[in-house]
């Protein structure tokens, strides 16, 4: 039971770290990357779908994303969806291809994005700590129900704490890397 509880907590903590990685990828730096447009939704025959389901997204160069729709009538809709997104991007229509240049980040914008990164990281750390609390509560309940001994509980709590420390350190590493990436000119 204890090993299952630890494995379950570790899987959930890993998912929290993966969710943070996904969220950090959406925070843009001066460089272009195709994942930037993953959450931009476009209307396609009455339903909203991600842009990458109606178009090929490629990198033209380090600061430009290319978007080529599979159906020509979708090009204006995709252009409008990118322009209306919260990314602050202004695509230009080249006939069959949309060029999406990445504007240079100002120093003030870099600082703002660094604050956003820290908030995302703190949210992930809180999620990890909540998972630790839940695991410890399950251990306490197991002791009350006489399923495990207090010594087993103490050892399991130490293991859960080690897991927590490991994943919090991993989050700190991700945040430091993202902040460094943001502050590069």
Report domain extents, the chain.
2-26+106-183, 34-101
Average pLDDT over residues 52-62: 89
Residue 26 has pLDDT above 90, yes or no: no
Average pLDDT over residues 14-38: 81
Give the pLDDT of residue 16.
93
Q: Taking all residues of the chain, what is their mean pLDDT, rounded to a whole number?
A: 88
The secondary element (H helix, E strand) that includes residue 26 is helix 2-26
Sheet of strand 92-93: strand arrangement: 55-61, 64-69, 98-101, 92-93
- What phi and psi, each to the nearest 5 degrees, are found at residue 96? -110, 0
CATH for 2-26+106-183, options being 3.60.20.10, 1.10.645.10, 1.10.132.20, 1.10.3720.10: 1.10.132.20
Give the pLDDT of residue 109.
77
Give the pLDDT of residue 172.
95
Give the pLDDT of residue 140.
92
Give the pLDDT of residue 130.
95
Fold of 34-101: Gyrase A; domain 2 (3.30.1360)
- Residue 99 three-state SS: strand
DSSP state of 86: T
Residue 122 has pLDDT above 90, yes or no: yes
């Amino acid at each position: 039971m204890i090993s299952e509880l630890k494995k379950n907590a570790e899987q959930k903590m890993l998912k929290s770290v993966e969710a943070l990685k996904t969220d950090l990828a959406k925070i843009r730096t001066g460089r272009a990357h195709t994942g930037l447009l993953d959450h931009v939704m476009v209307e396609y025959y009455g339903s909203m779908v991600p842009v990458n389901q109606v178009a090929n997204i490629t990198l033209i160069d380090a600061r430009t994303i290319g978007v080529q729709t599979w159906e020509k009538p979708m090009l204006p809709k995709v252009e409008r969806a990118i322009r209306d997104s919260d990314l602050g991007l202004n695509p230009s229509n080249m006939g069959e291809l949309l060029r999406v240049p990445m504007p240079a980040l100002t120093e003030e914008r870099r600082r703002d994005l660094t604050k956003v990164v820290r908030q995302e990281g703190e949210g992930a750390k809180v999620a990890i700590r909540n998972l630790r609390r839940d695991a410890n509560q399950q251990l306490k309940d197991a002791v009350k129900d006489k399923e495990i001994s207090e010594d087993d509980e103490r050892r399991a709590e130490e293991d859960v704490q080690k897991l927590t420390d490991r994943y919090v350190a991993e989050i700190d590493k991700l945040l430091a890397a993202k902040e460094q990436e943001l502050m590069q000119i």
